[in-house]
Amino acid sequence: MLLLVDLDGVVYRGATPVPGMATLLGQRVAAGDTIVYVTNNSRWHRDEYHARLAGMGMPVSPDRIVTAARATALVLTEDGAMAVPDDGRRPTGGRPTAMVFGGPGLARELRDVGLRTVAPNGHGLEAAPDAVVVGVDFSLTYRRLTTAAEAIRRGARFIATNRDPVYPAADGLWAGAGSMVAALAVASGREPDVVIGKPEPRLFEAAAESVGEDPRRAIVIGDSLATDIAAANRLGARSVLMLTGVTTRGQLDAAPAAARPTAVAEDAAELSRVLDAMRD
């Protein structure tokens, strides 16, 4: 089976692994399942996620991690979104340029596919970026927000890695990239041109394509009805909701039938039983 496994709230919460997940995922790999870790969090590069997951004892290799940052970079190059003609806006022509309103991992993923990156500051604005790419930004300031909004008003495309309002950390829920996207949408006067992450299906599609699989045959394991399960339902894939992250039992009970997962698990032990029952 192909398992598309979310990270925040499923594999770990902050720096704390979810109990039993390392053992369970190791057993699934030993049984022949393919695991791709998928996350809307765009702050870190895949190499950093690999080190973190390996340090927690999870079965992982760098090519089995697809972040919203990585998927955004691939989409921007593969669909021609950044292959815009030099219309005089770039001072010196050259490579397409992205202003990164987000973390260092997002900027690095974009550079990995050949894009030039600039920061949301005066020098970045002078570079006349072709796009403003938004992820969770731990360096968020009024000036960075103002500059990114001005770049969009001047004609840059507005690209959102995801619209998660929050994500689970060890000490509670932290503001997610969606909070930055919402602020930028208000400040710039328009909504994003492209959203890559969940609940849009493109992230899961990229993850399945990375291992040559049909995303509709995947089993999505996530902790959010609004993102993980919604994206799985859009794809027509099966899903398991883990009650170890942002979604509560009360929220699940109140959800309409169309928004529900295929199955639910309270913890790793129950997830193991659910996956055994779902095996093709």
Per-residue pLDDT tens digits for 24-43 = 999 999 999 999 999 988 88
Choose the catalytic residue: 8, 130, 137, 223: 8
CA angle (34, 36, 39) in 5-degree steps: 160
CA atoms within 13 A on the CB side of 40: 31
Average pLDDT, the chain: 92
Instruction: Between 80 and 133, name the one with better pLDDT.
Output: 133
pLDDT in tens, 131-158: 999 999 999 999 999 999 999 999 999 9
Token readout for 109 is 């993923």
Q: Between the CA of residue 12 and those of 17, 177, 210, what are the distances in Å?
A: 4, 19, 23
Report pLDDT for 85: 45
User: What's the rounded mean pLDDT across residues 92-118?
Assistant: 91
Cα–Cα distance, 197 to 132 (Å, whole number): 16
User: What's the rounded mean pLDDT across residues 266-271?
Assistant: 98
User: What's the rounded mean pLDDT across residues 51-60?
Assistant: 97
Report pLDDT for 75: 87
pLDDT in tens, 2-13: 999 999 899 998
Burial 252-274 (b: 16+ CB within 10 A, else e): beebeeeebbbbbbeebebbbeb
User: What's the rounded mean pLDDT across residues 242-269?
Assistant: 96
Enumerate the β-bridge partners of residue 38.
6, 66
Domains and CATH numbers, the chain: 2-40+198-278 (3.40.50.1000), 85-195 (3.40.50.1000)
Is 143 within 8 Å of 161 (Cβ atoms)?
A: no
Is 127 within 8 Å of 96 (Cβ atoms)?
A: no
pLDDT in tens, 164-198: 888 767 788 889 999 999 999 999 999 999 999 99
Is 14 within 8 Å of 78 (Cβ atoms)?
A: no
Choose the catalytic residue: 6, 164, 223, 228: 6
- pLDDT value at 126 more than 80: yes
The reply to whether 267 belongs to the active site is no
Token readout for 181 is 């996207």
The reply to whether 112 belongs to the active site is no
First-last CA distance in the chain: 7
% of the chain residues with pLDDT over 70: 94
Report pLDDT for 100: 98
CB neighbours of residue 279 within 10 Å: 10
